[in-house]
A and B are shown apart, each in its own frame.
Chain A
Amino acid sequence: MRLVIDPTRCHGHGTCAQLLDEYIRLDKWHYPIVGKQKVSAGHADLLMRAAQLCPELAISIVDD
């Protein structure tokens, strides 16, 4: 599983980085930088929650 953030929607609220701090860090403008590694199956629920909680609905989950 990977997460993909739509940069045109994301407003840099940072909620996702709080939930998924292993995978996402924030740049100096507080926009998320998504790491390259895949999200482990154990973190699937967390990923789902991050996608639901993003205020801009900018997060997609890609299965590959």
Chain B
Amino acid sequence: MIESVSASIMAPTGPRRLSLGWESAHRPSPSGRVAFVSDLSPRPRLVMPLAEHVAGYGRLPSGLTMRMALDTLRASNLTGRGGAGFPFWKKLQAVATAESRKSPVVIANGSESEPLSKKDTLLLKNNPHLVLDGISMIAGLLGAKSAYLYVKDREAHTAVNAAMRERRERGISELRVTVVEAPAGYVSGQETAVVRRIAKGPALPQFSLDRISTSGVRGAPTLLSNVETFAQVAIVLRFGADWYQQGGQGSDRGTRLLTLVGAVGRPGVYELLPGATLAELLREADAGDPRAVLVGGYFGRWVDLGTPNSTNFPMDDQTLAERKLSFGAGIFGVVGHDTCPVVEAAAITEYLAGQSAGQCGPCMHGLPEISTAMARIALSSDVERGMHDLRAVIPLVEHRGGCQHPDGVIQLVRSTVGAFAEEVKLHRSGRCTARGSHTSVLLPPGATVAAGAVVR
């Protein structure tokens, strides 16, 4: 670990952004709470050198005990950035107290399987040292004998390797991180699929009566978190919970990275500072007058911007939950008035049905049926039957998969027919409010779906 002088966690000043060093593109909004970090296809930038990284964030704390770390992480309210939003300290505590003869395993999940997401790859490419700091600290606290970084993107892989070489050359003694390539596919980032892949198996979800915190990679207690979560850990454990929380509102006061895509003037990766509202984010992204936002990614929920007060709220965990929303995988998908959100959701549903690992009956048979029902509704071909089929099939699929994949799809479908009930009604009479032709803005690039008769 980087040698240090201080044994306690307190640092009243310093940067807390994750995008430090990507400054060429960094531009805070007028409110100062929304920072545009990068566009979606950034020119290759140099990885922040270690010396600069240490100059920017300071050294890692030494003499940190598990008790101190747990208290600090708990007070910070840091939640996971990979989708489920689970409190990080609880996960750490579960692994730390797991009864096992095997030493714990630490995994940073950088597979970023949401096709529209770019934040994890950009973090790894620009600021790999922050992620490695987080892994190093957590592995050290747990006394782990192995640590892995699971990545899909080739350039991110190269950046991480370069950063690790630099750390070794600088004589930093820390557990060596093994980089494992994540295969393509939406479910390859699911936690049990990751655990299987790390143990040299296929990247397919696995059913178990045990949690991975007690029995994960080859039966060892396993801590698996998203790469942004590890970067946040590196900040919280450096600067302390008070500092992390200062100046915000609500329950979650650190920054967050997100990917903003769709019908906006400036799509890209953004960093939200505490208190940032959806309105500020949309303004900063030159969204104009959009119709709706899909919050959280493909397993997310819609915000219909036609309803009053739909954007003036701070985007912290608690406020989002009060609005039945969640940050999810950190993707905000914006659709304009020339696009029908129901058609968008039908296309996404079809894509996700095709991503089933095909292991579980209800997922493998049920998702295509849900997708067909959504297509009937979206294309106004037989809305009545589509709605009837959704009601019949969803209970046969929900909570019956080996992983959360089908439940995520159901969440999207429910949110769509709930938020856009008026639109569905219009479809019943063969109409659709979409002004222009249906051009999907939220499908992954290159994806073809049968609803492609209208969605291209």
Residue ranges of A at the interface with B (Cβ–Cβ < 8 Å): 4, 6-12, 27-31, 33, 60, 62
Contact = CB atoms under 8 A, between A and B. Distances in A.
A31 B361 contact: yes
A4 B360 contact: no
B219 interface: no
Contact of A29 (B206, B359, B362, B402): B362
A25 to B, nearest CB: 11
B205 interface: yes
Nearest to B192: A8
Nearest to A5: B207
A6 B366 CA distance: 17
Interface string B190-233: 00000000000000111101000000000000000000000000
Interface in B351-388: 357, 359-363, 365-366
Nearest to A60: B209
B362 A6 contact: no
A17 to B, nearest CB: 13
A8 B206 contact: yes
B209 A62 contact: yes
Interface of B: 204-207, 209, 357, 359-363, 365-366, 396, 400-402
A4 B209 CA distance: 9
Contact of B362 (A9, A31, A60): A31
Nearest to B204: A8
Contacts of A8: 204-207, 357, 359-360, 402
Contacts of B362: 7, 27, 29, 31
A29 B361 CA distance: 7
A6 B402 contact: yes
B125 to A, nearest CB: 34
Contacts of A62: 209
B359 A7 contact: yes
A31 B362 CA distance: 8
18 contacts: A6-B207, A7-B207, A7-B360, A7-B362, A7-B401, A8-B204, A8-B357, A8-B359, A8-B360, A8-B402, A9-B207, A10-B361, A12-B361, A27-B362, A31-B361, A31-B362, A31-B400, A33-B400
Given A27-B396, A28-B396, A29-B365, A10 B209 contact: no
A62 B210 CA distance: 12
A7 B396 contact: no
Contacts of B396: 27-29
* Interface residues of chain A: helix, strand, loop or mixed (majority): loop
B209 A7 contact: no
A42 to B, nearest CB: 24
Given A6-B402, A9-B359, 18 more contacts: A4-B209, A7-B359, A7-B362, A7-B400, A7-B401, A8-B205, A8-B206, A8-B207, A8-B360, A10-B360, A27-B362, A28-B396, A29-B366, A29-B396, A30-B361, A31-B365, A60-B209, A62-B209
A28 B396 CA distance: 9
Contacts of B401: 7
Nearest to B397: A27
Nearest to A28: B396
Interface-centre pick from B205, B361, B365 (highest chain A CB count, 10 A): B361
A28 B365 CA distance: 10
A12 B359 CA distance: 11
A46 B402 CA distance: 25
A10 B206 CA distance: 12
Contacts of A31: 361-362, 365, 400
Interface-centre pick from A29, A30, A33, A62 (highest chain B CB count, 10 A): A29
Given A27-B396, A28-B396, A7 B402 contact: yes
Contacts of A7: 207, 359-363, 400-402
A12 B365 CA distance: 12
A27 B362 CA distance: 9
A6 B396 CA distance: 16
Contacts of A4: 209
Top 5 nearest A-B pairs by Cβ distance?
Answer: A31-B361, A8-B402, A7-B360, A8-B359, A6-B207
Contacts of A27: 361-362, 396
Contacts of B205: 8
Contacts of A28: 396
Contacts of B363: 7
A29 B66 CA distance: 49
A27 B206 CA distance: 22
Nearest to A29: B365
A34 to B, nearest CB: 10
A41 B280 CA distance: 61
Interface-centre pick from A8, A27, A29, A60 (highest chain B CB count, 10 A): A8
